[in-house]
Amino acid sequence: MVQAQAHKADATRILVMEDDVNIGRGLATVLTDENYSVQVANDGQSALDAFKQDDFDLLIADIRLPDMNGLDVIKQVRRHTPDTKIIVITGFVSTSVAVDAMHNGVSDFLPKPFSENQIIKSVKTTLELSKDKNAAYVHSISETDKLIQKKEVLQVLDRTNEDQLFCNDLQKKGTQALAEYALSDEAKEAIATGNIDWINKNVGELTQKQLKYVFECAQKRDWQL
């Protein structure tokens, strides 16, 4: 079902595809207050039907929907209305989802929960960059790469706590043990050496389990001094 906010003449048109009624209603209120014209679709088919009836400048899309995969909706929108910009909002982002979304022109990711300021900033940035297609493409790659790298770093640190053989291999071989992961050379070096400053800056705070390997690296460095 599509819920429409009051139409604003000549306003930028946004479709929010979100099955959580409260989140959808909240986004519509926040964005309408910013003078955007907003509609909310509570499932994938309603979103596709809305695109048949109207043109939208921006799609804000959840991935997990009750009737279909949100990425399938994104792909159809990208095929039929390639100028529509897309922001993904979701609490369930895997590396494969991020890569697939990137290949389909998603401009930004917002992991749930996010603040009003975050969604407003993301919308404004995405729409401003849409004026320069090259800039928008660079933005998309950059933001997605950051997301993928963060997820990969956390996966590696989780694995060091769960897989002792992998942990030992990482300590012995260093960056060579990380060949299967989508990480930059800088990120691989930071993990292999337990560089907590780099990890905190680029990934954020870690759980105690994720910190275990970092502490072991620090102890190893102390022993070698």
| CATH number of the domain where residue 62 is located | 3.40.50.2300
Cβ-count burial 31-64 (b if 16+ within 10 Å, e if not): bbeeebbbbbbbbbebbbebbeeeebbbbbbbbe
Cβ-count burial 117-143 (b if 16+ within 10 Å, e if not): eebeebbebbbebbeeeeebeebbeeb
Last residue of a domain, one of 106, 131, 156: 131
Q: Element (H or E) spanning 16, and its range? A: strand 13-17
Q: Could you tell me if residue 138 is inside a domain?
A: no
Residue 156's domain spans which residues? 146-224
pTM comes to: 0.59
Whether 126 and 85 share a structural domain: yes
Whether 126 and 27 share a structural domain: yes
Whether 28 and 58 share a structural domain: yes
- Distance (Å, whole) CA 19 – CA 23: 8
Averaged pLDDT, groups of 10, the chain, 225 residues long: 54 95 96 96 96 95 93 92 90 67 77 88 84 50 69 88 89 88 86 83 80 73 45
Whether 25 and 117 share a structural domain: yes
Q: What 3-state class would DSSP assign to 64?
A: strand
From residue 96, give the alpha-carbon distance in Å to each of 68, 71, 145.
Answer: 17, 11, 12
Q: Could you tell me if residue 150 is inside a domain?
A: yes
Other residues' Cβ atoms within 10 Å of the Cβ of residue 212: 15
Q: Could you tell me if residue 98 is inside a domain?
A: yes
Encoded tokens for 183: 């990480």
Provide the edge-to-edge strand list for the sheet that holds 85-90: 2-4, 37-41, 13-17, 58-62, 85-90, 108-111
Specify the pLDDT at position 69: 92
Whether 163 and 197 share a structural domain: yes
Residue 85 phi, psi dihedral angles, 5° rounding:
-85, 155
**Number of domains, the chain:** 2
Greatest C-alpha distance within the chain: 69
From residue 178, give the alpha-carbon distance in Å to each of 56, 71, 173.
Answer: 42, 29, 9
Rg (CA), the chain: 21
Whether 98 and 194 share a structural domain: no
Specify the pLDDT at position 17: 97
Q: Could you tell me if residue 136 is inside a domain?
A: no
Whether 16 and 103 share a structural domain: yes
